[in-house]
């Protein structure tokens, strides 16, 4: 008997095939929770990948969190569970109730959700990110033909939650996306930057992680407002001719029980062996050898470029993709390298003018060479060596600097081997490391005199800039 014809929003055979091959760059359009109309009924189509589950159901505000009210149908061969629930409305909360192979019931947020309830709550929310009235057409059209490699670029790195707060309301008084949009556009223009790099805009449970321990790879964090308000922020920056770079975390994810960790009762998104899965940050390393996980991350990267119009992805901890646990002595992670080459190739082909940036502390060669030529396919790499050498030099008493001029000159010995971004990022000033000015030798006045020289040197050195 022929298979019943699928509706446009449902998981089809081609979707399953591409997802299982690690080549579905738009699986976010099928998995997750989508407001649809089925005949005369309006509701939500839910779909989730949980191959080792015995059963899955949707629980939420619409069924009083009843684990038996809305069972999901298993789609073979990959173990994707689906169901349509009429009457479910925008902003209603939900989770998946997963019965594991051992018979235990666990409750999980939706990996493909587009929004979540405000922390410390952990439920996903139904939202609608379609039909947004963007007014950045001129910017987006220009971006397709923009050769950013030949243009000056000065990036301002900002974390919305700590960049500025309302006096007297520090705990709950984050600037909203809209408030930040007005303030940051004014600041960027005054300071002469060309781009803003936004930290922590994907959902994450802990404020202090700055978003690097992520739980929602398709979800704008709710701590600053709605998904639509984040779109307003990006649209407003584009209207002011300011580019947006997003911090993207493809290496590891938060271990909290509600999230991706042991999603269907088994190591699904993480490596099966604890020695591979356990990261140095107390998080779980993605199993970048598994094709469905590759589809998940590739489609997440495409999602932010497509739906949120971001102009670049700064990818975190790439040395941990190149080598197991970022340790050269442990050897190259061939599966992870295959993943990053595939993703970068696709993104470069599909989204002309979008920048792919590696935060990479290794000396691995050809990070910014095209994948067709044997490289990793990034457009730029952070020059962490230049940053470390320069700051070490300035920490020294000038009496001793004459013995360490190599800290200043060494960068030009390797600089043209890659396309570099010169950076002084948040990593240099956190955890009691001191501000940039306080790292420098001397009295208060002497520190500032040298700081002015440092930034003059930085901006006359070849390479893009980030502060």
* CA–CA dist 167, 106 (Å, integer): 41
Is 203 a residue of the active site?
no
| 284-285/252-253 β-pairing | antiparallel
At CB < 8 A and 24+ separation, what contacts does 393-400 make? 394/439, 394/440, 394/441, 394/450, 394/454, 395/439, 395/440, 395/441, 396/441, 397/441, 398/441
* CA–CA dist 332, 324 (Å, integer): 6
**Run of H or E including 337:** helix 334-350
Active-site residue identified among 15, 203, 264, 359: 359
Spatial neighbors of 40 by CB under 8 A, at least 6 apart, are none
Q: Are 126 and 224 in contact (CB under 8 A)?
A: no
Active-site residue identified among 316, 383, 389, 423: 316
| 93-99/80-86 β-pairing | unpaired
Two structure tokens written together for 337 = 């390298």
Closest by CA to 242, choosing from 323, 165, 301, 309, is: 309
Residue with tokens 């979707």: 15
Is 397 a residue of the active site?
no
DSSP output for 156-213 = EEEEHHHH-B-TT-TTT-BPPHHHHHHHHHHHHHHHT-SEEEEES-EE-S-GGGTTSS
Residues designated as active site: 316, 359
């Amino acid at each position: 008997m022929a298979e019943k014809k699928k509706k446009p929003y449902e998981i089809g055979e081609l979707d399953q095939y591409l997802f299982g091959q690690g080549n579905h760059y738009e699986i976010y359009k099928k998995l997750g929770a989508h407001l649809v109309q089925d005949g005369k009924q309006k509701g939500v189509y839910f779909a989730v990948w949980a191959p080792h589950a015995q059963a899955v159901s949707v629980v939420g505000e619409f069924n009083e969190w009843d684990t038996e009210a809305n069972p999901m149908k298993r789609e073979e061969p990959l173990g994707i569970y689906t169901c349509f629930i009429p009457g479910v409305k925008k902003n209603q909360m939900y989770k998946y109730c997963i019965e594991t192979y051992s018979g235990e019931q666990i409750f999980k947020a939706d990996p493909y959700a587009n929004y979540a309830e405000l922390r410390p709550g952990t439920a996903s929310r139904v939202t609608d990110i379609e039909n947004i009235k963007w007014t950045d057409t001129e910017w987006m059209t220009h971006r397709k033909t923009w050769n950013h490699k030949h243009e000056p670029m000065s990036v301002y790195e900002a974390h919305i939650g700590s960049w500025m707060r309302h006096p007297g309301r520090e705990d709950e008084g984050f600037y909203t996306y809209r408030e930040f949009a007005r303030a940051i556009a004014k600041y960027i223009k005054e300071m002469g930057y060309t781009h803003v790099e936004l930290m922590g805009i994907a959902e994450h449970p802990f404020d202090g992680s700055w978003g690097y321990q992520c739980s929602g790879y398709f979800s704008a964090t709710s701590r600053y407002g709605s998904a639509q308000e984040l779109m307003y922020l990006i649209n407003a920056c584009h209207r002011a001719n300011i580019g947006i770079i997003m911090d993207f975390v493809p290496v590891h994810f938060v271990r909290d029980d509600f999230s991706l960790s042991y999603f269907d009762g088994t190591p699904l998104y993480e490596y099966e062996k604890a020695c591979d899965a356990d990261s140095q940050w107390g998080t779980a390393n993605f199993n970048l050898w598994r094709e469905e996980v590759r589809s998940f991350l590739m489609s997440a990267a495409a999602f932010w470029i497509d739906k949120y119009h971001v102009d670049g992805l700064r990818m975190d901890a790439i040395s941990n993709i190149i080598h197991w646990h970022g340790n050269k002595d442990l050897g190259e992670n061939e599966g992870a390298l295959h993943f990053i080459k595939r993703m970068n190739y696709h993104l470069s082909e599909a989204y002309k003018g979008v920048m792919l940036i590696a935060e990479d502390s290794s000396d691995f060669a050809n990070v910014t060479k095209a994948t067709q030529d044997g490289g990793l396919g990034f457009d730029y790499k952070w020059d962490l060596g230049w940053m470390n050498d320069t700051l070490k030099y300035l920490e020294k008493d000038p009496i001793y600097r004459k013995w360490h001029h190599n800290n200043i000159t060494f960068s030009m010995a390797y600089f043209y081997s890659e396309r570099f971004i010169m950076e002084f990022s948040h990593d240099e000033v956190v955890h009691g490391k001191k501000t940039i000015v306080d790292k420098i030798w001397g009295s208060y006045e002497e520190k500032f005199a040298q700081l002015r020289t440092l930034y003059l040197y930085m901006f006359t050195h070849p390479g893009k800039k980030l502060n």
